[in-house]
Amino acid sequence: MEPKRVGQLVRQNDQAAQRELFEAFYHRTYAVVYTVLRSRESAEDITQDAFIKAFQNMGQLREPEKFGAWLAVIASNLARNYLKREKKVIYCDELPVLETVGANDTEEQAVGNLEVEQMRRALRALPPDQYQVIILQYYFDLKIDEIAALLKLNEGTVKSRLFRARAKLSRILEPFAAADGLTCKGGAGGNAAKSQPFTGR
């Protein structure tokens, strides 16, 4: 959905506008929550709570065009609170290995599924504050200053969180990156950054 249209709907904020926003942002918000909680039922409840909270506090949103990212922040905060309340601490290494490779998958699909699952595991391993900035930058395409404004942080804090998050993701994905010929930057010997597909195929 175009940012301009999002802004219009946010300002309108009636039943019809809310429904359109819900339909436009439900999947992305659910995905952000599900990646943290790993439970479909809880993810659905938290996502709906996030929409309720967002619609009730629409007046606090300074840039209506950023509704999706704002909603994701609300949803990830609710997910974090839910984990605290339920005292569920999910450690990356303790996650059950999911059946990501189906019997009928082609080799390409199977490799792709494994990558996706590995990335999800890596994202779940991030602390909540780092997970938020990664999602906002790479999933919602926000710039550093926009993330800082949304989270009410200074830009330096956002940069350091992003750096730590990237370092942690790199550590987790390093073995896979090495096996697949993944290109990294800032490594030993000043290797130049090269953008390649995740699998190196």
Partner 1 sequence: MPQNRSPLLDDSLIRAAVRRALDSVEAPPVEESWQRFQSRRTAASARRPRPWSRYAALAAALLLVFCGGYGAYRALISGNFNHALLMDQESESAEILAAEPAGEREVSDSAAPWPDFAGWSPLQPSREAAQQLPQALDGYTLDTAYTREAQSGITYLAALYKGKEQEPLLWVQAGTASPDQFFADLEQLLQLPVEETAADGEAPSTRLAVGSRPAFSWEKDGRRHLFIDLSGHSSPTELQRLAPR
Locus of tokens 């990646």: 35
Q: Evaluate whether 140 touches 131 at the Cβ level (below 8 Å).
A: no
> Smallest distance, Å, CB 154 to partner 1?
22
Residue 14 region, left (φ>0) first, then alpha (ψ -120 to 50), else beta? beta
| Shorter beta-carbon distance to partner 1: residue 15 or 152 | 15
| Shorter beta-carbon distance to partner 1: residue 5 or 87 | 5
> Smallest distance, Å, CB 194 to partner 1?
7
Sites of contact with partner 1 (CB under 8 A): 19, 22-23, 26-28, 30-32, 34-35, 40, 44-45, 47-49, 51-52, 55, 112, 115-116, 119-120, 123, 134-135, 138-139, 166-167, 169-171, 173-174, 177, 182-189, 191, 193-198
> Smallest distance, Å, CB 53 to partner 1?
9
The residue type found at 152 is: K
| Shorter beta-carbon distance to partner 1: residue 13 or 22 | 22
> Smallest distance, Å, CB 102 to partner 1?
13
DSSP 32-90: HHHHHH--HHHHHHHHHHHHHHHHHTGGG-S-GGGHHHHHHHHHHHHHHHHHHHHT---
In this structure, what token pair is assigned to residue 50? 């996030």
CA angle, 115 then 125 then 189, to 5° = 70
| Shorter beta-carbon distance to partner 1: residue 6 or 47 | 47
> Smallest distance, Å, CB 137 to partner 1?
8
